[in-house]
Homo-oligomer: A and B are copies of this chain.
Amino acid sequence: MIPNWLLQRAFLTPDRIALSFGDDKWTFSELKKEAVTIAKKLRSIELQEGDRIALLGSSTPEMVFVIHGCLLAGMEVVMLNNRLTADEIDWQLNDSEAKVVLMADEFHKIIRVSKTETKTFTEIKSLPEIPYTITEIWNPSRTITIMYTSGTTGFPKGVRQTAGNHTSSALSSVLNLGLDEEDRWLCTMPLFHISGFSILVRSVLYGMEVRLYAKFDAREVAMEIARGSVTRLSVVATGLQRILAEMEKTDAVASPSFKTILAGGGPIPDDYLQRSLERRLPVLQTYGMTETSSQTATLAAEDALRKSGSAGKPLFFNRITIAAAVNPLDIGEVLVAGPHVTPGYIGHASEKSPLVDGWLQTGDVGYIDAEGYLYIVDRRSDLIISGGENIYPAEIENVLVSHPDVLEAGVCGQEDKEWGSVPVAFIVTDKKISKEQLNDFCKQRLAGYKVPKAFYIVNELPRNASNKLLRRQLKASLDLKRNE
């Protein structure tokens, strides 16, 4: 039994600030009012509790209102990544069978979906309000959001994130990070990612202000940290590096009231940690994924350098183990359990359970040291993490081999100073095909961050005896190229 987050929060602390954006602010009571209006308007297009809809927008107050409106209305919300192409979005709309897709106006101009009914945010505004009683209590198994994540097959899978998943994730986090009435969480992460969405959840559960940014602006963020006008921040390594660079320019340090940076989406280089220390920025590295509705493990700031490379210990309600490990340091697949773990997928992947014997099979490879700290040594399925976005090689390979002139394709990550890693492609072809052609072909079909940054034409791809592509050998050949 979980109370309807926003209704309960607006009842308990109506006058606290819920959201700020630039110079504008909304209390929880005002946020509720906006969301209730949207919930009532959605009724007029015959959306009922339990219906599935999709949402495409960016980080604006309006987007926050629509998200909460959909939750109040009892919808299951497919959070669409706004960097996807129309084809990719169509695929997810098809797979999720979303009844309607709600789009911020600016996306409606550039994205046309083929079949699904579309309503722009402006169109929603002009709908009549249908009065009805909003459900006050949620079942913990109620699906709140669906976020697509790719896998080994290259076909994105829609991950169910329930009210229980999100709630327990926020509660586990508060036991680790603490909570204060003065807390304000700066959100520059996309709301369609669990990293950003989980900040909205914490806001309603904690009664905490979200300071929302439409875009990551390193200079502004650095100033907020130095001023102490925010106390918490979520970043990926790339973002941290840019903030550090800004602070170093003016020799700024974090305000004493600034508490923590939660750094996810892959390991943070020691150099950044050392520089963070000099800027008095407590950095907490964290390990989480879409399937765990945010953090599973988090490394305390005081352990950052002592346990360099570690993702920390599990949060209170979570458990982590290494498959088949007998002793500390034994390496194996990282398995996760806890109330934050998804019950499963929707659509084409709904038959596949991500759990075996109650444990989420992350696909990541790692070990746990004698003190219980988790280390990830290899990402799942040759996952490429680029500026916090997960990229699955198989998805890009699928697109490449659909080109009539491409016989085989292999994709792997290449280290990149700015993004951590970027995808590059190896192509086998018997035709003459230019890199520009390949680039254009991908751009039409893949979000920009997934488009390979380099195309190498090769005679053959490295494969094992059963013909499985060996992506690690692709990576090794890249290192050879660099050393040539």
B-binding residues in A (CB < 8 A): 1-3, 8-9, 11-12, 137, 171, 174-175, 178-181, 205-207, 313-314, 316-317, 319, 337-339, 372
Q: Are B178 and A313 in contact (CB under 8 A)?
A: no
Name the B residues within 8 Å of A178 (CB-CB): 178-181
In the assembled complex, 25 residue pairs joining A and B whose CB atoms fall closer than 8 Å, in A order, are A1-B337, A1-B339, A2-B317, A3-B316, A3-B317, A3-B319, A8-B316, A9-B316, A11-B313, A11-B372, A12-B313, A12-B314, A12-B316, A137-B319, A174-B174, A174-B175, A174-B179, A175-B179, A175-B206, A178-B178, A178-B179, A178-B180, A178-B181, A180-B180, A205-B316
Give the shortest distance, in Å, between A293 (CB) and chain B (any CB).
15
| CB closest chain-B residue, reference A137 | B319
Give the shortest distance, in Å, between A342 (CB) and chain B (any CB).
15
With a 10 A CB-CB cut-off, give which of A137, A171, A338 has the most chain B CB atoms: A171
Extra pairs beyond A1-B337, A1-B339, A2-B317 (14, CB < 8 Å): A1-B338, A12-B313, A12-B316, A171-B171, A174-B174, A174-B175, A174-B179, A175-B179, A175-B205, A175-B206, A175-B207, A178-B181, A180-B180, A205-B316
User: Could you tell me the dominant secondary structure of chain A's interface residues?
Assistant: mixed
Name the B residues within 8 Å of A2 (CB-CB): 317
Bound Cα distance from A226 to B284, whole angstroms: 34
Give the shortest distance, in Å, between A322 (CB) and chain B (any CB).
15
Name the B residues within 8 Å of A11 (CB-CB): 313, 372
Bound Cα distance from A3 to B314, whole angstroms: 11
Give the shortest distance, in Å, between A36 (CB) and chain B (any CB).
17
Bound Cα distance from A372 to B11, whole angstroms: 8
Bound Cα distance from A339 to B2, whole angstroms: 9
Give the shortest distance, in Å, between A337 (CB) and chain B (any CB).
8
| CB closest chain-B residue, reference A5 | B316
Bound Cα distance from A316 to B372, whole angstroms: 32
| CB closest chain-B residue, reference A318 | B3
Give the shortest distance, in Å, between A181 (CB) and chain B (any CB).
6
| CB closest chain-B residue, reference A300 | B13
| CB closest chain-B residue, reference A183 | B178
Name the B residues within 8 Å of A137 (CB-CB): 319
Bound Cα distance from A378 to B461, whole angstroms: 81
| CB closest chain-B residue, reference A339 | B1
Bound Cα distance from A372 to B179, whole angstroms: 24
Give the shortest distance, in Å, between A354 (CB) and chain B (any CB).
17
Bound Cα distance from A98 to B205, whole angstroms: 40
Bound Cα distance from A1 to B180, whole angstroms: 27
Give the shortest distance, in Å, between A78 (CB) and chain B (any CB).
27
Name the B residues within 8 Å of A180 (CB-CB): 178, 180
| CB closest chain-B residue, reference A315 | B12
Bound Cα distance from A171 to B205, whole angstroms: 11
Bound Cα distance from A59 to B313, whole angstroms: 33
**Top 3 closest pairs, chain A to chain B, by CB:** A178-B179, A178-B180, A179-B179
Name the B residues within 8 Å of A205 (CB-CB): 175, 316
Bound Cα distance from A180 to B205, whole angstroms: 17
| CB closest chain-B residue, reference A207 | B175
Name the B residues within 8 Å of A207 (CB-CB): 175
| CB closest chain-B residue, reference A338 | B1
Bound Cα distance from A137 to B339, whole angstroms: 12
Name the B residues within 8 Å of A179 (CB-CB): 174-175, 178-179
Bound Cα distance from A313 to B316, whole angstroms: 27
| CB closest chain-B residue, reference A12 | B313
Bound Cα distance from A179 to B319, whole angstroms: 23
Bound Cα distance from A274 to B1, whole angstroms: 38
| CB closest chain-B residue, reference A204 | B316
Give the shortest distance, in Å, between A338 (CB) and chain B (any CB).
7
| CB closest chain-B residue, reference A314 | B12
| CB closest chain-B residue, reference A319 | B3
Give the shortest distance, in Å, between A341 (CB) and chain B (any CB).
10
Bound Cα distance from A313 to B178, whole angstroms: 22
Give the shortest distance, in Å, between A302 (CB) and chain B (any CB).
10
Name the B residues within 8 Å of A314 (CB-CB): 12
Give the shortest distance, in Å, between A258 (CB) and chain B (any CB).
15
Name the B residues within 8 Å of A313 (CB-CB): 11-12
Give the shortest distance, in Å, between A142 (CB) and chain B (any CB).
15
Give the shortest distance, in Å, between A319 (CB) and chain B (any CB).
7
